[in-house]
Amino acid sequence: MKISALQQARYLYAPKLPKILREDIQKLDVVIGQPTQSASDQEELKKLFPNTYGLPKVSFKVSGSAKAGRKLNVGVILSGGQAPGGHNVICGLYDALMKANPQNKLYGFIGGPSGILEDKYIIMTDELINEYRNTGGFDIIGSGRTKLETKEQFEVCTKVCHSHSINAIVIIGGDDSNTNAAVLAEYFRAQKEDICVVGCPKTIDGDLKNESIEASFGFDTATKTFAELIGNIERDANSARKYWHFIRLMGRSASHITLECALQCQPNICLVGEEVKAKNQSVDDITTYIANAIAKRAENGNNFGVILVPEGLIEFVPSLNALISEINDLLAKTEKEFNALDSADAKIAFVDSKLSASSKKVFDSLPVEIKGQLLADRDPHGNVQVSKIETEKLLIQTVEKRLKQMKSEGKYCGKFSALSHFFGYEGRCAFPSNFDADYCYSLGYNAALLLGANMSGYLSSITGLSKPADEWKAGGIPITMMMNMEQRHGEKKPVIKKALVELDGNPFKFFEKHREKWAVETAFTYPGAIQYFGPSEVCDQSTITLKLEHME
């Protein structure tokens, strides 16, 4: 297979580690911190996790003498959507295991969690690992969205682990995947099984974080990749000077990606779902806001601009969220009857006839295309697939209609010609930035230390990320610390609480301070492509979000 010059050069990149992880791994000991508690619902979670709730945070220190690490046969699983840096988590895990004890073995379960259930695996070797260092994608073993959550599945996991003498599992995934890791760790402890489970925080959406998980891996690379594309479009818009570009960005449950891209590119308008919800805004409110901004720029002779829209915006609009919830419940109850209908029009009419008066009013106001997308196949949770709803096209239609109305009332609105874009998959498998290459390698290396100390039910934690990698801190936090109880499929279940954009946080406050100026002026910035070589201030910088969150 022909390898590009960049790929060859990235193979040779040596990820930077926190100072403590550069010490002799044989001389590192765990330091036990203070006990923890969950984000909320403490009593309920104590009952569900009697063996792993309330565990302390841990860090590492150099001990006085070398010690032989316990032999580990480790299974690693990539779970959920791809995120840049996943390969480096595995590489860091592998390298640390080999340094701790050359007899250690790393099993890569193929195709995500289903790999362990079906006992499909490969054994990691130097030759294999070296082909994937610092590369994007999850293709070393593939990923999947099978959930590990039932007793029957846990029994299969136990059997497979016993058959290979596996005494540790690392699950690399997002909030759902690491919730499953916590439940699996609790099961093993309850059954007195000597199998340690550790998680690594992954999601480009950026919604898996707290004070001990400052960033989920892949967010840095994905936002820089999207920002390059947005900057290219901004430059084109400023050159052609005749199009309004509506750009929808990946991120269902939180607007972190959209906000970070706005901070990097300074578009004319950026919608933040959390603000829309907090202000109880309707589609009409959003439309009016955009149309007024377009008219204001038209007065200055600028009939062009760029608007960023978060993928999950439609669920943040209260009236649409209520409609979606009602449709989800309706389709769950009438699945057979609904699926028996043979045309899109018939399905739309069926749903329209069964909605409440308030939801029917909202549903009837939507274009036919959006109605069809709302009724498309549900995701594994039984919810609408937000990524298939073309919110940017909905807004183009509503804004165009509003501008025509404003013109009829004598308001000067200039010329409006719009183009739509959706950026999602473009960012999931990019070559990881130096930040993500370093961070992910550190997460994997650190996970091996947690396994060696038998810290089951923990999430690998690297903090101090706004500083140079040399100053990062390594340790682990109990996964239960990040959990709460939420309604899923009609019953309350333990899940990791999603971290949303904080409207009183520094990143949003900075954006809020500047957005009026950006709306009227052409203040575009052009981040350009991710840089891998050169000065640290060019190549090793974290996201603007992370810098602002850690401003002192």
Give pLDDT, residue 552.
Answer: 56
531 vs 69 pLDDT, higher one: 531
For residue 128, give every residue at least 6 positions away whose Cβ sits within 8 Å of its Cβ, in sequence order, or none.
Answer: 122, 140
Per the listing, tokens 């959930």 go with: 147
Of 176, 205, 220, 436, catalytic: 205
Residue 130: both structure tokens together: 């070296």
pLDDT per residue over 400-413, tens digit each? 999 999 999 999 99
54: left (phi over 0), alpha (psi -120 to 50) or beta: left
Residue 375: both structure tokens together: 């009724």
* Residue 542 to residue 546: CA distance in whole angstroms: 7
Q: What is the DSSP letter of 138?
A: S
> What is the share, in percent, of the chain residues with pLDDT greater than 70?
98
419 φ, ψ (degrees, to nearest 5): -125, 145
- By the 8 A CB rule, do 206 and 256 touch? yes
* Residue 113 to residue 111: CA distance in whole angstroms: 7
pLDDT per residue over 35-70, tens digit each? 999 989 999 999 999 999 999 999 999 987 766 678
- By the 8 A CB rule, do 423 and 233 touch? no
Per the listing, tokens 């959390």 go with: 274
Give pLDDT, residue 482.
Answer: 94
| Residue 516, H or E segment | helix 506-520
- By the 8 A CB rule, do 72 and 161 touch? no
310 φ, ψ (degrees, to nearest 5): -70, 145
pLDDT per residue over 132-164, tens digit each? 999 999 999 999 999 998 999 999 999 999 999
pTM: 0.94
Provide mean pLDDT across the span 303-332.
Answer: 93
Provide mean pLDDT across the span 361-389.
Answer: 82
pLDDT per residue over 200-215, tens digit each? 999 999 999 988 999 9
Domains and CATH numbers, the chain: 222-428+504-549 (3.40.50.460)
Provide mean pLDDT across the span 441-468.
Answer: 97
* Residue 79 to residue 110: CA distance in whole angstroms: 10
Residue 536: both structure tokens together: 């640290």
Give pLDDT, residue 385.
Answer: 78
Per the listing, tokens 């989800």 go with: 328
Q: What is the DSSP letter of 310?
A: E
For residue 382, name the pLDDT band (cuts at 50, 70, 90): low
Average pLDDT, the chain: 94
399 φ, ψ (degrees, to nearest 5): -70, -40
* Residue 76 to residue 443: CA distance in whole angstroms: 13
In this predicted structure, the answer to whether residue 423 has a pLDDT above a threshold of 60 is yes
> 321: closest CA among 391, 380, 369, 259?
391
Q: Is 205 a catalytic residue?
A: yes
Q: What is the DSSP letter of 85?
A: T
Helix (H, G, I), strand (E, B) or coil at 114: helix
> What is the share, in percent, of the chain residues with pLDDT greater than 90?
87
Residues of 224-242 as b/e, b for ≥16 C-beta within 10 angstroms? Answer: bbbbbbbbebbeebeeeee
